[in-house]
Amino acid sequence: MSEPIRYDQLHEPLDDEERKLMDPEFWDWDNPLEVVVAENPLALLPINLTYEEHHLIAQRARAEGLSAHAFIKRAALASAQAD
């Protein structure tokens, strides 16, 4: 016989509504919802740049045929992967 499935909470419920939503006894097991999960979800990282910083980055990016976003991403990944 298999062990029962545990549904551990990551945090305490904030209110009664959340407490009910977190309780498996209230879940509609007969009518599950189907969802599409992104294969590779993205993270957005907003950064603040001065006009001068952006201008400098954009100039260099254009010189390399890249958008400022692609240039920053490439530079950040290269730095992170360097040993």
pLDDT in tens, 43-75: 999 999 999 999 999 999 999 999 999 999 999
Residues in the chain: 83
63 in a structural domain: yes
pLDDT of residue 7: 64
19 in a structural domain: no
The encoded tokens of residue 9 equal 């909470």
Cα–Cα distance measured from residue 81 to residue 70, given in angstroms and rounded to the nearest whole number: 16
Among residues 83, 57, 51, which one has the least CA distance to residue 72? Answer: 57
79 in a structural domain: yes
The set of residues, in sequence order, having a beta carbon less than 8 Å from that of 58 and lying 6+ positions away, is 68
3-state secondary structure of 1: coil
pLDDT of residue 13: 79
pLDDT of residue 3: 74
Which pTM value belongs to this model? 0.54
83 in a structural domain: yes
64 in a structural domain: yes
Q: How many structural domains is the chain composed of?
A: 1
29 in a structural domain: no
pLDDT of residue 53: 98
**Across all residues in the chain, what is the average pLDDT?**
89
Domain that residue 70 falls in: 42-83
